[in-house]
Structure 1
């Protein structure tokens, strides 16, 4: 479907605003391609030039968004709000939000932050490889200082951490997110303890093997093909940290491979496919406008967690996909569906790495990060104390202490680009369970469809109920449109209690 202009009967003020905003969106997407290239294809020596390129682009987009001409167009569209339909009003609302979060931030600060962020990714990667937090700490201090200055310019009377949180989760108050976190911590910790103390021993048929990267890559490619990844609009590559980048025309995914753990790459690939499915499901004709853009970090994560956990970790999926695994990986001929299903759902409380965490302890990893993140941003934790605080909190929540910074506070790339962004992972898991429950009332025999490799009905349901709306609805309204009620943790807790009680024979 071609990219469309606003309808001819839309007010001229709205048409003018959308025309200007689209140019800004296109520049941002160009920056996204350069960022993808840095993490996937660019030689490490290219960082100084790439930092300057992205800094220059950020300056251009900042100037366009804060120009008098753009402000006048936005005000004119707001003055014509009574003549706009629901989607058009939502587009203006979102453009206003972007403008308000940019107008008072100096262009020089925007450039400095962009350049520092780009440089920091390589510094983080080198520090992690060297297991040397001190190498990264000065850059982390600079990132915090720049981010806090930006937050003060955006909203000087609002707590800094809350301003930064709203970058990725604008419509779910931080207080409400923390209430969800408290409830999850209260209910997941006893469940994990019960599994650890009294649960059955689950199979681990993939442990102890050696799986060449080229075989794992072929398996990940096969998984994407079986699920239905659109190769005309995407690709798979390897990166230091799995991620997805792009838009509804070009949604690229990455994964990473561990020689002794093929499940890590496979589940990461399916997870990133979920992100790509959201991007590719956005209305193509609305590209460059808020109606053709994803809503928030939490909603994005709901799509990746749905495909990873509610599809890729189910027994029906392994009935369907285990033969493909055996085609690509040696030494697994005798593995049964039940063994594979148990293996991908084992609980590993002593696991140190978030992206390798199981479905339950994963959220303790997230809560740990959010607490440390907030304490650091708000000045209650000095940078040199982060490794010790990280290790102490991991011991408290998970009963394990990292031996190295690479396994501890250096394991995630996220601080190189933003603070207050980890909440979306858990919010996404909560929303994914709620969406899954609603889908199963609308779509008949979901498990049977998964078992037969028929994933199109699930994709269609997500397209209709989530993707097609773009940024039309705030988070709670989107959840209510899709499921009939605002966001709630009930479905997630019911889902994990039922699933893991059954798996572990409790």
Structure 2
């Protein structure tokens, strides 16, 4: 009888913990919808009220986590025998609880309110090429994030503490090692490409294409990829993003009438994020088992669909008739020319989200280095534009003429998201490893893409990534999916072969 009573108490404690976490998740989901609205629908004058709303929800979420029964329930459960799934939930909640419990609610509220105000300031500063307008907000966020990191672990590198918000189970040293491998391989490869005499089509989409027409094409391509419109939508924002969960996941994109490829690849990228969220287990909604693993895994899904699918020639062979239906003047366009244009390596592109698959990572590395310098105190906020431009000149041989296309181009600093950026490159690296494993199991996927068939790849990702939620830590998940440790080898082999062939190196 004692054993049964103990087991019943354990089940009750676990169910209580899940109920507590689901309540917190509901508050965070509501905050996410308000944030989506602020970036997509809200009139600009709504910022003061929205700042208070988001700050209140952020404080409430924090208080529910640290002031309720979560701590005592965790203590009770950690002294009992748990199933693998239960242990994973306790592990993930324990990590959230321990970090949150060290940070005062007042600081959480202040960070939330500051980021909401900073978003509006960033949008205005970017539109007016006026870094000074954004600088005070950035300086405040840097100070607040240093304070936040010090509360969590005063003895650790503050940037490593911030990085762990996005990559809880991946050491910063591992990320730094992978980024170094990328730098060592990509810098000379980009230089070789720029010196190549290969005749690569770069202007398959010359001219201008109305935003409304581009949006119609984006919607058709999302439908081709089987996006679930009953659980999603497409909107326009100043910076493409995805927001939601397995029941409601929305994507945004942006349009430039002179750059239809930019909008299309951004849309496919965000589809990858949404497809991951929509594939998470519905019966675990609101618990770690129903949430995405972390940002590098999330980026692996978006980069896989954007690059390994959306930039492939078989994909272009399939969507070309649809493109011609929408875009005037493309009757003679070939899939080969579209493929080459979609994969050209730019000599003077300043914008990360519009960059090619190779120089993209230099954008990441530059911001990564600047973030570390900001958080460590080695770089003053006022010096960010000059430092940014110097690094672009050093790594890419180009110098931004405005801050709009320079240090103001991305939204992330207005969110206080320091430590986020390495996940973009980590995701690209992981995507190549996952795609290679999928092809090993499914065979060459080119014919399927050419025929517009994506179910096999989707099912493989559902079974090997999506369904697991946060059951595994990052490196464990990669091993489960591919049978190998997380490595940059597959990505470096992929880009070396792809671009070596394209540019006849």
Q: Is 1:129 matched with 2:127?
A: yes
**2:60 aligned partner:** 60
1:232-285 CA distance string (max 9 Å, x none):
110000000000000000110000000111000000000000000100010000
**1:475 aligned partner:** 474
Given that residues 17 and 77 in structure 1 are in contact (C-alpha distance below 8 angstroms), is that contact kept between their aligned partners in structure 2? Answer: no
Q: Report the Cα distance in structure 2 between the residues aligned to 1:184 and 1:451, rounded to whole angstroms.
A: 30
Q: Report the Cα distance in structure 2 between the residues aligned to 1:330 and 1:88, rounded to whole angstroms.
A: 56
**2:420 aligned partner:** 421
1:146-167 CA distance string (max 9 Å, x none):
1111111111111111100100
Trace 1:26-45 onto structure 2 (pairs within 5 A): 26-45=26-45
**2:218 aligned partner:** 220
Q: For structure 1, list consecutive stretches of 5 or more residues without a partner in the other structure.
A: 1-6
- RMSD across aligned positions (CA): 1.2
Given that residues 62 and 110 in structure 1 are in contact (C-alpha distance below 8 angstroms), is that contact kept between their aligned partners in structure 2? Answer: yes
For the residue of structure 1 that corresponds to 2:57, the secondary structure is: helix
**1:486 aligned partner:** 485
Trace 1:176-215 onto structure 2 (pairs within 5 A): 176-215=174-213
Query: Offset of 1:68 from its aligned partner?
Result: 4.6
Q: Report the Cα distance in structure 2 between the residues aligned to 1:193 and 1:9, rounded to whole angstroms.
A: 64
For the residue of structure 1 that corresponds to 2:251, the secondary structure is: strand
Query: Offset of 1:204 from its aligned partner?
Result: 2.6
Given that residues 205 and 335 in structure 1 are in contact (C-alpha distance below 8 angstroms), is that contact kept between their aligned partners in structure 2? Answer: no
Given that residues 300 and 428 in structure 1 are in contact (C-alpha distance below 8 angstroms), is that contact kept between their aligned partners in structure 2? Answer: yes
Given that residues 47 and 119 in structure 1 are in contact (C-alpha distance below 8 angstroms), is that contact kept between their aligned partners in structure 2? Answer: yes
Given that residues 437 and 491 in structure 1 are in contact (C-alpha distance below 8 angstroms), is that contact kept between their aligned partners in structure 2? Answer: yes
Q: Report the Cα distance in structure 1 between the residues aligned to 2:253 and 2:96, rounded to whole angstroms.
A: 31
Query: Offset of 1:31 from its aligned partner?
Result: 0.3
Structure 1 residues 15, 406: closer, same or farther in 2, change over 3 A? same
Query: Offset of 1:427 from its aligned partner?
Result: 0.2
Q: For structure 2, list consecutive stretches of 5 or more residues without a partner in the other structure.
A: 1-6
Q: Report the Cα distance in structure 1 between the residues aligned to 2:480 and 2:495, rounded to whole angstroms.
A: 24
Q: How many residues are paired up?
A: 498
Q: Given the alignment, which residue of 266, 272, 277 partners 2:275?
A: 277
Query: Offset of 1:8 from its aligned partner?
Result: 8.5
For the residue of structure 2 that corresponds to 1:253, the secondary structure is: strand
For the residue of structure 2 that corresponds to 1:102, the secondary structure is: helix
Q: Normalising to structure 2: TM-score of the pair? A: 0.97
For the residue of structure 2 that corresponds to 1:482, the secondary structure is: helix
**1:112 aligned partner:** 110
For the residue of structure 2 that corresponds to 1:231, the secondary structure is: coil
Structure 1 residues 9, 320: closer, same or farther in 2, change over 3 A? farther
Q: Report the Cα distance in structure 2 between the residues aligned to 1:298 and 1:244, rounded to whole angstroms.
A: 15
Query: Offset of 1:207 from its aligned partner?
Result: 4.2
**1:234 aligned partner:** 232
**2:4 aligned partner:** none
Q: Normalising to structure 1: TM-score of the pair? A: 0.97
Structure 1 residues 46, 195: closer, same or farther in 2, change over 3 A? same
